[in-house]
A = this chain, B = another copy of it.
Amino acid sequence: MKIICPQEDFAAAINIVSKAVATKTTVTIMECILITAYGDEIKLTANNNEIGIDTILNGKIEEEGMIAFDAKFFADIIRSLPNSDVELTTNEKYAGTILCQPSDTERIELGIPGRPGDDFPYLPEINQKGAIEISQMSLRDIIRQTAFASSESDSNIIMSGEHFKIEGNKLQVTAVDGHRFAVRKIILNDNYDNVEAIIPAKTLNELNKILKDDANEIVQMFFSDKYLMFMFDTTVVVTRLIEGEFVNIERMMMNDYQTKFVVPKKILSETLKRASLISREGDKKPIVMDITDNKIYIGIKGINANQNEEIAIEKEGKNLKIGFNPVFLLDVLNVIDEEEVTIYMESAKYPCYIKDEQDTYNYMVLPVNI
């Protein structure tokens, strides 16, 4: 194999596929990046069997072939090169030679060990029919605004995933763990057949690192029985789906409320940040919210440290005293972009909801006993 690519493009492509490189594995080929150069296409691939990514690398093929390199070492080497053309050649023993001549005063030749790559786990073939389109920015936002609420523990595999549901022109994404849920709804530009799937939150978080914050760039999603494929720019991301039935959150949705208040997001989230510091120091006590007509009193009575704050609010309905783990409320506020949030409660024993009028976001947090 012999290819010539601009160093910047090479480093950027490696950065993309690196998100799918296995870190702790006994299958060492999964710690590699595969380079294939056939026809007029140079492709980089990584695959850890949870998530697989390939991306097209801009460059010239002088001799076709394929090779696999240890991802970490190869990434370090390519990043360490000057911004010029990089010529990569491999021989029949799978040794790679990198050549750069950025100027008359400098010549760089590096020899690095490769492997045949014929044991590399290829990405599954997905039928590219019925693409569902969404902008990179929207998909990025939706994942950022929900993934935190999925369970990090592996004990409930369903809750470690996010539920994607498409009905007509609506996409609804839901994450849930034992204490809370996060629901985001978005209107798509087209109508699609109904489809739903559970996607590992971990792989969505990796996907988010390579999506652009650009409303004009499109992502195409293709659902299959076992996989979901995302196509954008010259990159393909395939993630395994989680089998099973997702948690029915319909019955956890708000029916009614007795107390509703509007509060400045920044002020409440800074109060909750202090609450999490005080709570950590003071025997993990919950916060108590005492909601009155135009003020909310937030307090923690720890043995060592305590908190006693007041925030002016606009309130409708009954007064209420309710307890929370401050971190769960803080997680929600951290992903809301609006300056004010509206919070709905029914009683000290019922869930609390943070949602907007249009129902584009809906967060539920369970209270704790006080």
B110 touches A274 (CB 8 A): yes
Hey, which chain B residues are within 8 Å of A305, CB to CB? Answer: 73, 110-113
Q: How far is the CB of A237 from chain B (nearest CB, A)?
A: 28
- Whether the pair A277, B80 counts as a contact (CB closer than 8 A) is yes
In the bound assembly, the distance between CA atoms of A109 and B298 in angstroms comes to 10
A370 within 8 A of B: no
Copies of this chain, whole number = 2
Q: Could you give, for residues 316-353 of chain A, a 1 whenever the CB lies within 8 Å of some chain B CB and a 0 otherwise?
A: 00000000000000000000000000000000000000
Contact with B along A180-201 (1 / 0, CB 8 A): 0000000000000000000000
A267 contacts B309, C-beta separation under 8 Å: no
Binary interface profile of A, 300-314, with partner B (CB < 8 Å = 1, else 0)?
Answer: 000011111111100
Please name the residue on chain B nearest to A309 by beta carbon. Answer: B108
Contact B274 A108 (CB under 8 A): yes
Residues of A in contact (CB 8 Å), total: 34
How far is B77's CA from A277's CA once the two chains are assembled, in angstroms? 7
Taking CB as reference atom, which chain B residue is nearest A303? B113
* Residues of chain B with a CB closer than 8 A to A73's CB: 277, 281, 305
With both beta carbons as reference points, the residue of chain B lying nearest to A80 in the complex is identified as: B274
Point out the residue from B77, B111, B307 that lies within 8 Å of A111, measured CB to CB. Answer: B307
- Contact present for B278 and A108 (CB under 8 Å): no
- Given A82-B270, A305-B112, answer yes or no on A310-B277 (Cβ-Cβ < 8 Å): no
**A104 contacts partner chain B, Cβ-Cβ < 8 Å:** yes
User: Are A110 and B77 interface neighbours, CB within 8 A?
Assistant: no
The answer to whether residues A308 and B110 also contact, given A80-B274, A270-B82 and a CB cut-off of 8 A, is yes
New A-B contacts (15) at CB < 8 Å, excluding given A76-B277, A110-B305? A73-B281, A77-B274, A80-B274, A80-B277, A105-B264, A106-B267, A108-B274, A109-B308, A109-B309, A111-B305, A111-B306, A111-B307, A111-B308, A112-B304, A112-B305
Chain A residues within 8 Å of B, Cβ to Cβ: 73, 76-77, 80-82, 104-113, 264, 267, 270-271, 273-274, 277-278, 281, 304-312
6 A-B pairs in the complex with CB atoms less than 8 angstroms apart: A82-B270, A106-B267, A106-B309, A110-B274, A110-B278, A110-B308
